[in-house]
Structure 1
Amino acid sequence: MPAVNSRTLNAAKIIAAAVSLSCSMVLAAGLFVDQALLDKVEQKYGIAAKQRFVEWQSLIDNGKSWSDPEKLERVNDFFNRNIDFIDDIILWQKTDYWAAPTELLARGGGDCEDYSIAKYFSLVEMGVDENKLRITYVKALELNQAHMVLTYFESTRSVPLVLDNLKPAILPATERPDLQPVYSFNGTGLWLAKSKGSGQHIGGSDRLSMWSELKLRMLESPF
């Protein structure tokens, strides 16, 4: 997880440009599960990994008719329950790697970025308005380190709800004093974050970054 500093914030501007590209093609290619994929997953990663994929696809298919609060609860619980926290350097032999949802499910492990990304894509696929979702960098004060969560805004002025792999309960940001928001992004831009309201929009960039690399991997190979 990168440190929260000016260099990281500049990188976030680059990320925002990549995020601003349409996710529809990526979702169609990267979140589709068929029998051939399931067979490949089982052969390479075992029956437990295959079962994670089956449950994930069922969650997405069945959840499209649910209310947003139920979608948030079910998706947050699914990933927190089925995925183990593993540092990138251990899992991927890289200091920072953003895994596709399928990579996360196949390996059964990932770090805070991977949880947040998988929750984001899953909820968008289930029909949650991406304008209500933000992938949010925070400082985890109790751990004294940078951290990533997914946040949900009912409106631009509302207090966001926090979906976090560290704590299972979905709580308003005002009830998470252990998290200090820094900035957030989604498919339409980048914001300086705050605990209430959407924060200051600071635009994006025409350069691509780790997010575009992630989406390319989702288009080219599921895991």
Structure 2
Amino acid sequence: MGLSVYARAWRAGMVACGLAWFGPAGLRAETADPPVMVAPVEVQPSAEPFGLATFFLTSGGLLDRWLGVQRRLDDEMVQLALCEGDRDGCASQAALKFLDIVDAARQRDGRARLGEINRAINLAIRPISDVAQHGLIDVWTSPLATLARGGGDCEDYAIAKFVALRRAGLAPDDLRIVVLHDTISGEDHAVAAARLDGRWLMLDNRRMAMVADADVRNLRPRFVIGQHGVMRYADSSLLAEASNRTSAVSLVTSSLAASANQPLEFVN
């Protein structure tokens, strides 16, 4: 398929995401995740995207999904290493496509490197919901599986960019996946984030231009995923209340534990 076809497919469905991590309300009672444990940490300024305090999740559906992706990534990294050493003998077209994207990014520096991966992944994957593609409400897919199918939703784009950026030379501490909540539409959305010169840039499947976290509007960060695990953003109003109490940590962590299993409504 030519580049122009991919571009049309991307534009036609750039608002598609199709995630519903915890399923419809009618199904949640049957498939409810166990209570999420939140590791208590000291409330302090954060180096994470958006500069907000975060708390590690030690259990729950979101963490399980990410750990599942990591297990599949272990196998894909072996496949990529083999194909990189012998491209003529590589049997995986998805691996070759991924390596081409990374190679092109390595030829650039700084913001241009990030933009190359953002653009290439956006054009290489057509937007399609998990229900349409897998017949399931929520499936997290590793990069080679996504490229092999040719389609995915917002978290599939974000995962592919996260891995491609790492292979292109970015440090693990400068890479994240962020789950955002649209305060106008009520929808949730996943993007990759990369730190450049001290600023976090959002790599979004819905646009080619990258936007700094400080310039994001009408989107509230909810979760962030990095090399050390899955974290939940603390509510700013709760932190303000906690700052005036001696039991700040227990107040924040107990509130997060109570709300961590509330369903995320991923529509776009």
TM-score per shorter chain, which class? 0.5 to 0.7
Q: Is the 1:182–1:193 contact (alpha carbons within 8 Å) kept by the matching residues of 2? A: yes
Alignment partner, residue 179 of structure 1: 219
Q: Which amino acid aligns with 1:178?
A: N
1:15 Cα deviation from its structure 2 partner? 4.5
d(CA) in 2 for partners of 1:111, 1:16: 15
The answer to whether residue 123 in structure 2 is matched with residue 81 in structure 1 is: yes
Taking the TM superposition and a 5 Å limit, the aligned residue runs for 1:34-45 are: 34-38=87-91
d(CA) in 2 for partners of 1:26, 1:145: 33
The answer to whether residue 207 in structure 2 is matched with residue 167 in structure 1 is: yes
d(CA) in 1 for partners of 2:138, 2:97: 28
TM-score, normalisation: structure 1: 0.67
Q: Which amino acid aligns with 2:134?
A: W
Q: 1:175 to 1:99 in 2, by over 3 A?
A: same
Q: Is the 2:98–2:144 contact (alpha carbons within 8 Å) kept by the matching residues of 1? A: no
Taking the TM superposition and a 5 Å limit, the aligned residue runs for 1:83-162 are: 83-154=125-196, 158-162=198-202
d(CA) in 2 for partners of 1:178, 1:31: 38
TM-score, normalisation: structure 2: 0.57
Q: Deviations over 1:120-176 (max 9, x none)?
A: 011111111111111111113344211111112247xx4421011112210112222
Q: Unpaired runs of 5+ in structure 1? A: 42-49, 195-201, 203-223
3-state SS of paired residue (1:91): helix
The answer to whether residue 106 in structure 2 is matched with residue 64 in structure 1 is: yes
Structure number with larger C-alpha Rg: 2
3-state SS of paired residue (1:78): helix
Q: 1:110 to 1:25 in 2, by over 3 A?
A: closer
d(CA) in 2 for partners of 1:79, 1:193: 27
d(CA) in 1 for partners of 2:111, 2:71: 25
Q: Deviations over 1:2-25 (max 9, x none)?
A: 26xx97875367349839x79995
Q: Is the 2:225–2:231 contact (alpha carbons within 8 Å) kept by the matching residues of 1? A: yes
1:55 Cα deviation from its structure 2 partner? 4.2
Calculate percent identity across the aligned residue pairs.
23
| RMSD over equivalenced CA pairs, Å | 3.5
Aligned length: 181
Taking the TM superposition and a 5 Å limit, the aligned residue runs for 1:5-24 are: 11=60, 14-15=63-64, 18=67
Q: Which amino acid aligns with 1:147?
A: H
Q: Which amino acid aligns with 1:77?
A: R
Q: Which amino acid aligns with 1:28?
A: M
d(CA) in 2 for partners of 1:58, 1:83: 14
1:75 Cα deviation from its structure 2 partner? 0.6
Runs of 4+ in structure 1 over 6 Å off: 6-9, 21-24
Q: 1:170 to 1:37 in 2, by over 3 A?
A: same
d(CA) in 2 for partners of 1:93, 1:16: 17
Q: Unpaired runs of 5+ in structure 2? A: 1-18, 23-32, 37-56, 235-252, 254-268
Q: Is the 2:162–2:192 contact (alpha carbons within 8 Å) kept by the matching residues of 1? A: yes
Alignment partner, residue 29 of structure 1: 78
Q: 1:22 to 1:112 in 2, by over 3 A?
A: closer
d(CA) in 2 for partners of 1:56, 1:17: 21
Q: Is the 2:76–2:144 contact (alpha carbons within 8 Å) kept by the matching residues of 1? A: no
1:31 Cα deviation from its structure 2 partner? 3.2
Q: Is the 1:75–1:119 contact (alpha carbons within 8 Å) kept by the matching residues of 2? A: yes
3-state SS of paired residue (2:60): helix
